[in-house]
């Protein structure tokens, strides 16, 4: 296993910048998820690390070697593809043996390693089958086996679960996580599903438009998103983002809505708002930090329930505030009807404030 | 009750309608079969008649005295007709096989490059490859003859091989490119990560998967060369060099034509093509990349 360092990584296609100055360090044994919407550059970044596409500028270090100009085969990596890319003409056994044969290992050692990998992944009975005779989950396992049979420095995984059905995906998710814990493997994992990133990864790198937005532990990213993109991308249902304007009333800083209501701020939040470059401030709040009242309460904002979605564990209520959709979760025993008048109370300690111009989170100091 | 009645009647009604179309299809296929098979059967029947019986009117639908004399004559190297026929056969086999092998050697890497790599002038090259096929082959007959005479290739099999390659390669490249386009690029990428060089990935992973395409292309170029008449007739004038299509016409002569011999030769000329198809057809039906990737 080894660490991976990306330094000012750039990939351009003509005038289009697919990856812009991405720098991050994946420590030895760390599970890092590259996450973002499609076209954000996460798969391109992975392919740059693999060597399948050449970099435009920057450096890639795997272990202690700069691998910028090395062929994929010389980078000591293994990759799991989104569509598995199993060799269709080869049996499962030969699929697993191929990376070892390419490295000219003795026959007995190949046999031992293939059987060991098959045992670990519980597919010893499938070794003689061809990929087309396997189910989707089994094919996925073979793809994983082909990666781990060689004991590489880094595992690269390109949306390995996105072609599985929902139930199998959850199961394989925990298997891959277990696999990481057992092997202490360095893994770079690309996904568009923020839930996969949050649940599996030690650290997540949120990307958008070819830029790295935030690189931190899932808990930190969730609790302290650096900008509005990260705030809305991580977490489900998405964080509500309400555009407001900062103003002063009776010497106190408040956020006022075009709808006429205003929200008083705690001293800390007031200091944050004063740091913004503009009077336009976006209030961010996760569904669980908004309290729903059925009666008017001091400090609570009046709204009308728009839709009500019971999920069993919690019920999600949607309302409009200042033209933005606001998600609120309530216990299932709280009955709310569409179009019912409700009052929303925001948690001052857990609300997020963003600069309306730069879309960056504003900080008090 | 009503649902039961509906499910009971709907399938029969639907089946009857499909039956009508199916019968129309069968009749059409039967007519096509008749159209293609009858000349072949007549060729075969004539080839086992005597010279006199072949000329009778009304025709003998079934030969009264079937004989293999024509075949014996053609396959007997000691008589002059047989010696000529076997020589023509060998010439055809040589020219067609050489055309096929050389064609594949060029077409396989060319098609792969067109399918996988982007390079300057790629589209221009690809469509210029097709330009030749926009004109009928005969247009090039005189220019190519003059060219061949100029480079001293007239009366050599090389002139035919070069000409057939000129005509066969563009389509062979197109055909093969289609096959390579259908092989997921991730397979090569996986191989390269698993420790293969680009070339190894091509040889070990992509080549085996493109076998159906290579065989289809081989058959196509072999048949093209095997059946070609007008260029062979123009470029070759020495008896010992003629290929079968050009050679067979020597059975026609001013006063008499040996129809059974002509038909026997024609029949034997079609044998290699049929055998080629029968031997190789199993490669067409198998979808080799099945199970490679999940969509």
Residues A173-186: pLDDT tens digits? 988 998 899 888 89
Question: Do residues A184 and A104 share a domain?
Answer: yes
Distance CA A328, CA A347 (A): 12
Question: For chain A, where are the alpha helices, taking DSSP H only?
Answer: 42-50, 92-102, 107-120, 136-148, 166-183, 194-200, 218-223, 228-233, 267-274
Question: Do residues A185 and A47 share a domain?
Answer: yes
What pLDDT is recorded for position B254?
Answer: 60
Quick one: average pLDDT of A249-258? 87
Question: Do residues A110 and A220 share a domain?
Answer: yes
Q: Which of A198, A233, A268 is the last residue before a domain boundary?
A: A233
Chain B positions touching A148 (Cβ under 8 A) are none
The number of distinct structural domains making up chain A is: 2
What pLDDT is recorded for position A121?
Answer: 85
Question: Do residues B268 and B192 share a domain?
Answer: yes
Question: Do residues A116 and A183 share a domain?
Answer: yes
Question: Do residues B237 and B91 share a domain?
Answer: yes
Q: Is residue B124 part of a domain?
A: yes
Query: How far away is chain A from the Cα of B288, in angstroms, using its nearest Cα?
Result: 7
The fraction of chain B above a pLDDT of 70, given in percent, is 88
Question: Do residues A112 and A97 share a domain?
Answer: yes
Q: Is residue B65 part of a domain?
A: no
- The residues facing A35 across adjacent strands are A191, A206
Which pLDDT band, with edges at 50, 70 and 90, does B174 fall under? confident
The number of distinct structural domains making up chain B is: 2
Question: Do residues A263 and A322 share a domain?
Answer: yes
Q: Is residue B109 part of a domain?
A: yes
Quick one: average pLDDT of B2-24? 58
Question: Do residues B33 and B154 share a domain?
Answer: no
**What is the tally of helices (H) and strands (E) in chain A?**
9, 20
Question: Do residues B211 and B92 share a domain?
Answer: yes
Containing structural domain, residue B8: 2-40
Q: Is residue A362 part of a domain?
A: no
Q: Is residue B55 part of a domain?
A: no
Quick one: average pLDDT of B28-42? 93
Question: Do residues A79 and A101 share a domain?
Answer: yes
- ipTM of the modeled complex: 0.85
Chain B positions touching A98 (Cβ under 8 A) are 191, 194
Indicate the SS3 state at residue B199: helix
Q: Which of A170, A202, A233 is the last residue before a domain boundary?
A: A233
Q: Is residue B66 part of a domain?
A: no
What pLDDT is recorded for position A291?
Answer: 94
Q: Using CB atoms and an 8 Å cut-off, which of residues 220-249 of chain B contact chain A?
A: none
Question: Do residues B271 and B162 share a domain?
Answer: yes
Question: Do residues B137 and B209 share a domain?
Answer: yes
CATH code of the domain in which B259 resides: 1.10.3720.10
What pLDDT is recorded for position B10?
Answer: 46
Query: How far away is chain A from the Cα of B197, in angstroms, using its nearest Cα?
Result: 7
Which pLDDT band, with edges at 50, 70 and 90, does B284 fall under? low
**Interface of chain A against chain B, CB under 8 Å?**
50, 52, 71-73, 77-79, 81, 83-89, 98-99, 102-103, 130-134, 136, 139, 146, 150, 156, 163
- Yes or no: say if B205 and B196 are a contact pair by the CB < 8 Å rule: yes
Question: Do residues A347 and A203 share a domain?
Answer: no
Question: Do residues B30 and B140 share a domain?
Answer: no
Q: Is residue A361 part of a domain?
A: no
Question: Do residues B32 and B90 share a domain?
Answer: no
Question: Do residues A248 and A196 share a domain?
Answer: no
Instruction: Name the residue with higher pLDDT: B4 or B252.
Output: B252
Which pLDDT band, with edges at 50, 70 and 90, does A365 fall under? confident
- Yes or no: say if A173 and A193 are a contact pair by the CB < 8 Å rule: no
Q: Closest residue of B to A161, CA-based?
A: B294
Six-digit token string for A129: 């089958």
Six-digit token string for A290: 């908004």
Q: Is residue A61 part of a domain?
A: yes
Question: Do residues A277 and A193 share a domain?
Answer: no
Cross-chain residue pair B190–A85, CB shorter than 8 Å: yes
What pLDDT is recorded for position B76?
Answer: 85
Q: Is residue B198 part of a domain?
A: yes
Q: Which of A24-38, B175-189, B239-253 has the highest mean pLDDT?
A: A24-38
Which pLDDT band, with edges at 50, 70 and 90, does B253 fall under? low
Residues A320-359: pLDDT tens digits? 999 899 999 999 998 899 999 999 999 999 999 999 999 9
Residues A79-105: pLDDT tens digits? 999 999 999 989 999 999 999 999 999
Q: Is residue B17 part of a domain?
A: yes
pLDDT of residue A212 exceeding 70:
yes
Distance (Å) of CA A170 to CA A137, A195, B253: 11, 11, 82
Question: Do residues B8 and B135 share a domain?
Answer: no
What pLDDT is recorded for position B295?
Answer: 56
Q: Which of A211, A233, A255 is the last residue before a domain boundary?
A: A233
Q: Is residue A115 part of a domain?
A: yes
Question: Do residues B182 and B247 share a domain?
Answer: yes
Q: Using CB atoms and an 8 Å cut-off, which of residues 158-197 of chain B contact chain A?
A: 184, 186-187, 189-197
Distance (Å) of CA B200 to CA A80, B186, B192, B208: 20, 15, 8, 12
- Yes or no: say if A206 and A230 are a contact pair by the CB < 8 Å rule: yes
This prediction's pTM: 0.81
- Yes or no: say if A158 and A111 are a contact pair by the CB < 8 Å rule: no
Nearest to A121 by CA among A97, A94, A152, A142: A142
Question: Do residues B147 and B247 share a domain?
Answer: yes
What pLDDT is recorded for position A155?
Answer: 95
Q: Is residue A207 part of a domain?
A: yes
Question: Do residues B83 and B224 share a domain?
Answer: yes
Cross-chain residue pair B205–A136, CB shorter than 8 Å: no
Q: Is residue B241 part of a domain?
A: yes
Containing structural domain, residue A96: 4-233
pLDDT of residue B13 exceeding 80:
no
Q: Which of A250-259, B9-18, B21-30 has the lowest average pLDDT?
A: B9-18
Quick one: average pLDDT of B139-160? 91
Q: Which of A122-126, A304-308, B186-190, B284-288 has the lowest average pLDDT?
A: B284-288
Q: Closest residue of A to B286, CA-based?
A: A89
CATH code of the domain in which A323 resides: 2.40.50.140
CB-CB: which of A73, A85, A88 is closest to B196?
Answer: A73
Quick one: average pLDDT of A288-301? 92
- Yes or no: say if A176 and A96 are a contact pair by the CB < 8 Å rule: no
């Amino acid at each position: 296993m080894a660490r991976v360092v990306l330094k000012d990584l750039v990939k351009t296609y003509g005038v289009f910048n697919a990856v812009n100055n991405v720098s991050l360090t994946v420590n030895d044994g760390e599970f890092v998820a590259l996450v973002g919407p499609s076209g954000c550059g996460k798969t391109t970044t992975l392919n740059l690390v693999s060597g399948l596409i050449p970099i435009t500028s920057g450096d890639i270090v795997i272990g202690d070697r700069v691998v910028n100009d090395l062929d994929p085969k010389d980078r000591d990596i293994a990759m799991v593809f989104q569509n598995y890319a199993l060799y269709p003409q080869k049996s499962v056994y030969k699929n697993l043996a191929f990376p070892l044969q390419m490295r000219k290992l003795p026959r007995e050692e190949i046999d031992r390693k293939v059987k060991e990998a098959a045992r670990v992944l519980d597919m010893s009975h499938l070794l003689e089958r061809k990929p087309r005779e396997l189910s989707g989950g089994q094919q996925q396992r073979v793809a994983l086996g082909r990666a781990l049979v060689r004991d590489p420095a880094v595992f690269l995984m390109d949306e390995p679960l996105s072609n599985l059905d929902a139930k199998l995906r959850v199961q394989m998710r925990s298997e891959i996580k277990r696999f990481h814990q057992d092997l202490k493997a360095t893994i770079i994992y690309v996904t568009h599903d923020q839930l996969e990133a949050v649940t599996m990864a030690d650290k997540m790198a949120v990307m958008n438009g070819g830029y790295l937005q935030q690189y931190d532990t899932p808990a930190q990213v969730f609790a302290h998103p650096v900008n509005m993109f990260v705030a809305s991308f991580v977490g489900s249902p998405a964080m509500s983002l309400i555009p407001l304007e900062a103003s002063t009333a009776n010497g106190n800083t408040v956020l006022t809505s075009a709808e006429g209501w205003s929200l008083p701020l705690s001293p800390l939040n007031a200091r944050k708002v004063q740091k913004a470059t503009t009077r336009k401030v976006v209030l961010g709040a996760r569904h669980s930090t908004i309290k729903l009242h059925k009666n008017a309460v001091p400090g609570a904002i009046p709204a009308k329930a728009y839709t009500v979605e019971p999920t069993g564990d919690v019920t999600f209520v949607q309302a409009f505030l200042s033209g933005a959709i606001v998600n609120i979760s309530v216990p299932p025993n709280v009955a709310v009807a569409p179009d019912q008048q409700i009052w929303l109370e925001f948690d001052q300690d857990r609300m997020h404030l963003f600069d309306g111009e730069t879309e960056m989170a504003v900080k008090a100091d | 009750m009503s649902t039961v009645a509906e499910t009971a009647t709907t399938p029969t009604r639907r089946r009857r309608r499909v039956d009508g179309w199916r019968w129309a299809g069968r009749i059409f296929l039967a007519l096509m079969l008749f159209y293609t098979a009858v000349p072949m059967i007549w060729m075969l029947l004539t080839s086992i008649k005597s010279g006199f019986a072949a000329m009778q009117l009304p025709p003998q639908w079934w030969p009264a005295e079937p004989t293999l004399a024509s075949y014996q004559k053609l396959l007997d190297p000691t008589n002059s007709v047989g010696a000529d026929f076997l020589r023509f056969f060998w010439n055809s086999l040589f020219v067609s096989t050489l055309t096929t092998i050389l064609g594949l050697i060029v077409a396989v890497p060319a098609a792969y490059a067109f399918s996988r790599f982007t390079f300057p002038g790629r589209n221009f090259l690809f469509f210029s490859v097709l330009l030749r096929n926009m004109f009928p082959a005969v247009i090039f007959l005189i220019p190519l003859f003059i060219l061949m005479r100029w480079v001293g290739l007239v009366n050599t099999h090389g002139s035919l091989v070069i000409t057939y390659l000129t005509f066969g390669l563009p389509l062979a490249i197109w055909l093969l490119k289609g096959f390579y386009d259908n092989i997921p690029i991730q397979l090569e990428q996986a191989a390269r990560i698993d420790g293969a060089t680009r070339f190894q990935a091509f040889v070990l992973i992509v080549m085996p998967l493109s076998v159906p395409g290579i065989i289809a292309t081989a058959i196509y170029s072999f048949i093209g060369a095997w059946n070609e008449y007008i260029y062979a007739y123009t470029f070759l004038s020495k008896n010992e060099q003629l290929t079968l299509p050009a050679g067979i016409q020597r059975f026609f002569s001013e006063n008499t034509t040996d129809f059974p011999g002509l038909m026997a030769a024609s029949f034997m000329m079609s044998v290699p093509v049929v055998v080629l198809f029968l031997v190789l057809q199993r490669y067409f039906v198998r979808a080799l990349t099945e199970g490679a990737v999940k969509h």
